[in-house]
Amino acid sequence: MMFDYDDQNIFAKILRGEIPNKTVFENDHALAFEDIQPQAPVHVLVIPKGPYVSLDHFAAAASAEEQAGFFAAVAEVCKVTGVDEGFRAIANTRGHGVQDVPHFHMHIIGGTQLGRMLPK
Ligand code: AMP
């Protein structure tokens, strides 16, 4: 699998400060911000700062420090958004997963009963 990163994607522009975002949390390796079209009361995107196109790219190629920093950001987002009753983490990937933005992002969605993961 070849992972080609396009540095003109919208999350790369957010990371460079070229377009604004509503930051929820940031550390050395990750940024978390509000989704512009929230699908639930809590809808935050967590992205690594490195150039990774997808979850499988990030899992295969990111350093241990980058992976730890990313999951530390996930933990912080879950804490500050107060999703104690549960949430859903989604990483849409490529065509079958209907991924729109080709920079790895994890959706953290919650704040309400979400129903089943996929329609039956
Ligand atoms: P995906 O289909 O998993 O690639 O999801 C991309 C997500 O990025 C969607 O939920 C969009 O609403 C969200 N999104 C697109 N542009 C922005 C932006 N400028 N700021 C915040 N979220 C965005």
- Please, what are the domains in the chain? 10-110 (3.30.428.10)
Helix (H) / strand (E) containing 88: strand 87-90
The predicted structure's pLDDT at residue 1: 86
Q: Give yes or no for residue 8 CB within 6 A of ligand 1.
A: no
The predicted structure's pLDDT at residue 101: 98
Strand 87-90 relative to strand 30-34: parallel, antiparallel, unpaired?
A: unpaired
Beta bridge partners of 87: 110
The predicted structure's pLDDT at residue 119: 77
Residue-wise pLDDT tens digits, 58-82: 999 999 999 999 999 999 999 999 9
pTM: 0.97
Query: Is 57 designated active site?
Result: no
The predicted structure's pLDDT at residue 63: 98
Residue-wise pLDDT tens digits, 76-95: 999 999 999 999 999 999 99
- Ligand 1, residue 92: give the atom nearest the CA: 3
